[in-house]
Structure 1
Amino acid sequence: MWSVTQACEDKEDEARPFPVIHVDPDACVLPDPALCAFNVLDDMLVTLVQGPTQWKMQLFERPCPGEEPRPGGQLGEVELSTCTPPGVVPEKPAAPSFLPVLCCVFPPGSRAPHGHPEGCGCFMLEEALFGLLFGADATLLQSPVILCGLPDGQLCCVVLKALVTCELAPGDPKVLVKILHHLEEPVVFIGALRAEPRAEEEARELLSDENVHSDCLVALGHQGRTLAIKASWSESGNLVPELREYDLPGPVLCAACGRDGRMYHSTPSNLCVVDVARRDAPWNLEKPDEATGGLPSMLCPASLNICGVVTLCVSTRASTGTRCR
C-alpha cells in the first residue's frame, strides 16, 4: 500500500510545474476573513477590509523579522465607500465577486520600498500629475498615496502620511478619502505608463534609467471601460488633469503597462496591446504652445493572437526591447 501511494505522489509531483510550499497556520499575520487586499510598504502594512456597509482601510506596523507573525499597533483607519445600496438593511457581507485593487503611488524623488520594484503594486508619477491628482498635502508631505479600485467602480485615494497624522490628531476621517473617478463597473487593474513620447536619443536611455517616472495613470474595468489621466495644458496655458474614457474588448482577465506607452490586456479569447502614447509630437513642458500634450482620442487594440492569459508581467530590461510574459 505504501509503495502505491508513494508512486502516486511521485507522479503528482512530476505533474506539478512548481513545488507546493506548505505554510504553517502559525505564520498567519492577520486572521481576518473580511480581508480582501493588502500592500506592504517597508515598515507598514496596508489592508482593505470589507465591512457590513463600507470598505475599511487599515494601516498597521509591519512585524519585524524574528518577531511573532502579528502586526504591531494600528497606525490609522478610514472608511472608503458604501458596499450596499441605500435603503438596504446591512447584513453579514458576502464574499465579493471581484476583489478590490490596491496599489501605492510614490511622489517623484522619493525612495520606493526595498524589494518593491516599480510596477509590482507600486509606481512613481511625474510631479505635475502627482500634484494635480492628489493635492498639496501629498506634495508637501512627500507622502505615498494609496490608490483603491473598488468592485462598485470607484477609484479613490488616501494620502498615507495624512492618515497617520489623523490618527494622532483625530478629525473627520472622510476628508482623507478622495474619489478620483467612477468607472461604473468593477475595477480590475490600476497602472501607470509614459504617454508622452521622447526624442530618439532619450528613448534609448529610457531602458536603463531607473528614475524615469510615468506621466499617465490608467484604470481598467472588468468589461473593458478604460480611464486614462494625465497632466495637459488648457487653452489658458494652465496645467490641468485630462481624463479620457475608452472602451476596450472585455471581459478583462488581467493587464500590465510597459514603459514604452503600451498597455497589454487579456480577455478569454485574446491578448491585446494598445498604444496610449501620442507619437505625432513630443510634449515640451516648458513651452506649452508648441504641443497640446493630450491623450489620444481613441485607442486601437492590436491582437497578439494569444488567448486565455490570466496574469501578465512586462519587462523593460531586455536588450532587444520590451517583453511581455
Structure 2
Amino acid sequence: MAGTQPEVTLRFMAAPTDAGLTGTVDGGRVLEWIDKSGYACAVGWAGTYCVTAYVGNIKFAQPVRIGDIVEVQSRLVYTGRSSMHIVTTVASGDPRTGDLTVATQCLSIFVAVGTDGRPTPVPTFTPVDDWEREQHEIARKRIDLRADIEASMADQVYSDAGTAPRTVLRFLAAPTDINWGGKVHGGTVMRWIDDAAHVVASGWHGGRTIAAYAGGVRFYRPLLIGDLVEVDARLVHTGTTSMHLSVHVRSGDPKTGELNLTTHCMIVFVALDEQNHKVAVRTWEPVSEEDAALDEHARYVIGVRERLRRQVPADPPASRAGAR
C-alpha cells in the first residue's frame, strides 16, 4: 500500500563478476546497487513506477571485496509533490563474522510517474526519529544548493576548443539493460559513466585508478533499448592524487544519429600504486579559455562538496521495518 513502506534493505554476496581492475568491486557496480535499492524503496512508497532523477554526494569510503556480504539499505527521508529523497547506505563485510562497515552513502531522488508518463503525487513522508528528522532537514536545505550546482553545470561549454584528455564510448543500449518500466536502469547508466571516466583517468595517470567520489548525477530524460549511446568523459581538474572528470551521456535513434543529453555528472578518480595506495598524479594545466572555465567549475564543485561533507550525519540506525 502506498505510503507505508519507507525503507528497503537488499542483502547478497559480492560475486567475482562484480570485480573491477583493482580486484575489488568497481564503483560502477556499487552505483547499480544503489539505484536498484533506491528504486525499490521509491516504488514501495509511491505505489507506482518511478524514475531516477538525481544521485549525489557519493563517496566511496572503502572498497567492497569479492565474497563480502553486502547490505544496501535505502530509507526515505523527504518527499515533494511527486519526488522522493532517499538515503542509501552500502555496507559490507566478512560473512563469517557478520560485521559490516559502511562503504558508501548517498542521496538519490526519484520521481513517481503515472500511467500517462507524467509525474504523479506521492504520499507525504513524516520523519519519526532523530535520524530521519536530521536527514529530512538536510534534504530540504540541499534543494537550493543542488539547483546552484545544476545551473553551474548547465553554464559550462564542452567543445572541440577544449584540449583536455577525453574519450568517447559509443554502443547500442541492449535488452539486458532494461528496467521494469521498459527503460534503461539509472544504475546501468552510472556504470557506463564509471567505465568512460576510468578510461580517461587511467590514461592520464598511466597506472591504476579507482573511483572515489561521484556527484551531481542528473538524469534529464529516459534512455531506451536500442538507442545509440554516447558516453563522453573529459578531464577537467587534477588534485594531488585525484582526477576530476565531467561525463555526458547522450542517446538517440541510431537511424537518424541525432543524440540528446540523457545524463551529466562529475566523478572523481584517485591514482593508486600496485599496493592500492594513493599516489601523486600528474598535474593537468588548462590551455584554452574553455579548459580554464571547466577547471574553475570543478573547483567550485569541490567547495560545494566540502560544505556537504560537513552536513553528513551518523550512519542510519537499524531497520525500522514495521515501526509505522
The TM tier, using the shorter chain, reads under 0.3
Larger radius of gyration: 1
Larger helix proportion of the pair: 2
Bigger relative contact order, structure 1 or 2, given CA contacts below 8 A and separation 6+? 2
> TM-score, normalization: structure 2?
0.27
